Amino acid sequence: MWICPKCGREFKRTNQSHYCGKAPKTVLEYINSQPIETQTRLTEMMIILQNSVPGVNERILWSMPYYEKEGKSISFSACKNHISFYVGDAAMERFSLELNNFVTKKNAIYFPYDRVLPTKLIESIAQWCLS
């Protein structure tokens, strides 16, 4: 058993990665809690996802932005050097050719902060995942 010295939470694994602070209540609150140099890209990501699929529900789940419609979901999170966009295995397979220029892991696509977000690709993935 390991106890985080910052927040006091207990974990089975030593140095378990986790979020110590209070979970944000809105996506904007989440974005504003991130380093200033990442906020522009995170805001762009939020706007793309809000506008890609009519009627999508936006909320915070697992302390990160989460978008759902009719039982289908996608989410994203801020990392040190990139935005992780969680889309699921089927989407990773469906868009594999378009994702050749990006690092991918399991069900996540990494969009580096120092590159322009691929708006059309993100819109296509969101529409495919949530429609």
In our burial notation (b when 16+ CB lie closer than 10 A, e otherwise), range 61-97 reads eeebbbbbbeeebbbbbbeeebbbbbbbeebbebbee
Q: What stretches of the chain show up as alpha helix (H) in DSSP?
A: 27-32, 36-52, 89-94, 119-130
Mean pLDDT of 91-119: 95
Q: How far apart are CA 73 and CA 115, in angstroms?
A: 25
Give the DSSP letter string of 33-47. TS-HHHHHHHHHHHH
Q: How far apart are CA 56 and CA 70, in angstroms?
A: 9
87, 12 Cβ separation under 8 angstroms:
no
Mean pLDDT of 88-104: 95
Q: Please work out, in degrees rounded to the nearest 5, the angle formed at the alpha carbon of residue 15 by the alpha carbons of 10 and 21.
A: 65
Out of 9-18, 27-36, 60-69, least confident range: 9-18
Given a cut of 90, whether residue 39 has pLDDT beyond it is yes
Give the confidence band of 4 by pLDDT, cuts at 50, 70, 90.
confident
Q: 56-71 pLDDT, tens per residue?
A: 999 999 889 999 999 9
Q: Please give the model's pTM, rounded to 2 decimal places.
A: 0.85
Q: Amino acid letter at 32? A: N
